[in-house]
Amino acid sequence: MTTPASIQDLLREENQKEALKDEAPLSFWQIALIRIRRDKLTMAAIIVIGIILAASLLSTPINNALGVDPFDTDLLAQFEPPSAKHLLGADDLGQDQFARLIYAGRISLAIGFFSAFFILTIGITLGMVAAYFGGFVDDIIMWLINTLNSIPQLYLLLILGALFEITPPLLVIIFGFTAWPFTTRLVRGQVFSLREREYVMASTALGASNMYTIMKHILPNVIPTVIIVAARAVGNLMLAEAILSFIGFGVRPPTPTWGNMLTKSQQYVFEPDKYYLILPAGIMITITVLCVFIIGDGLRDALDPKLK
């Protein structure tokens, strides 16, 4: 039979266990999350990016609710200024600028995020393989990197833009297969130092496979740097898309992107009454890229303990 004294002992042990749980050290990711939450500027940038992403992803139902379509033309509404019918006015074809702006956000953001995904996938894989195995494998990968780096990326993009009709999926592929060398070099340098650590050498000595060692011990230590590179890459790729559109080699109308909307509006720069055609796309590019860079800086501060 359990006595009151034994019950009290059991309760005391449970309380001690709970206290030990509460005093358990925080993990690396928990500390990083706390740092991000305390960074008001980064949190503000995350909220703004969240709003832009939500508006872009929900562009179709939003436009349907407003009774507008990004591809409809209405010659009777040419250059109509902002009004209840056209919130951001209409262009030379009578197309609703607000409908095109939020729909274009979906395209521009997709180009940035999916291109960054391909770049990181290729860069991380080749960087880890080159550094971990070394030798002949490393020589081949470094030869590929040096070959691509010897060709100016903008020049290569212009050639491809002249040869093919640039669509969003094709632009993602082009960015993905031409912009990975920087990530590969960065990951390769980190893996060179990581593979000499005691826990990696111990894993290999205990008979762990190369795949297990890479996935268990090396990749988790590379991820913080990769996250920072990803945040920067999204902003840079969105700027690259806007630059290509501005010089006429980006995604072509009628598919709207912030880049080609800004390009189309440049002819009205000296017409102050048509400000509604110039400002929205430029403001969205500026705000989005700025917020992405702020988030990248915040992640760098949160994930790098040496900066604290």
Percent over 70 (pLDDT), the chain: 89
For residue 47, name the pLDDT band (cuts at 50, 70, 90): very high
Q: Which of the residue ranges 8-22, 98-112, 196-210, 217-231 has the most confident prediction, judged by mean pLDDT? A: 98-112
Residues 111-121 have a mean pLDDT of: 89
For residue 17, name the pLDDT band (cuts at 50, 70, 90): low
| 60-77 per-position pLDDT tens digit | 899 888 888 888 888 888
For residue 23, name the pLDDT band (cuts at 50, 70, 90): low
CA 42 to chain centre: 15
* Spatial distance between the Cα atoms of 240 and 258, rounded to a whole number of angstroms: 12
| 155-189 per-position pLDDT tens digit | 777 777 777 777 888 888 888 888 888 888 888 88
- Nearest alpha carbon to residue 196 among 134, 255, 257: 134
Can you say whether residue 250 is alpha, beta or left, with left for phi > 0 and alpha for psi between -120 and 50 degrees? beta
- Domains of the chain (ranges; CATH) run 27-67+94-307 (1.10.3720.10)
- Nearest alpha carbon to residue 293 among 167, 148, 112, 66: 112
pLDDT of residue 4: 54
For residue 3, name the pLDDT band (cuts at 50, 70, 90): low
pLDDT of residue 33: 81
pLDDT greater than 80 at residue 10: no
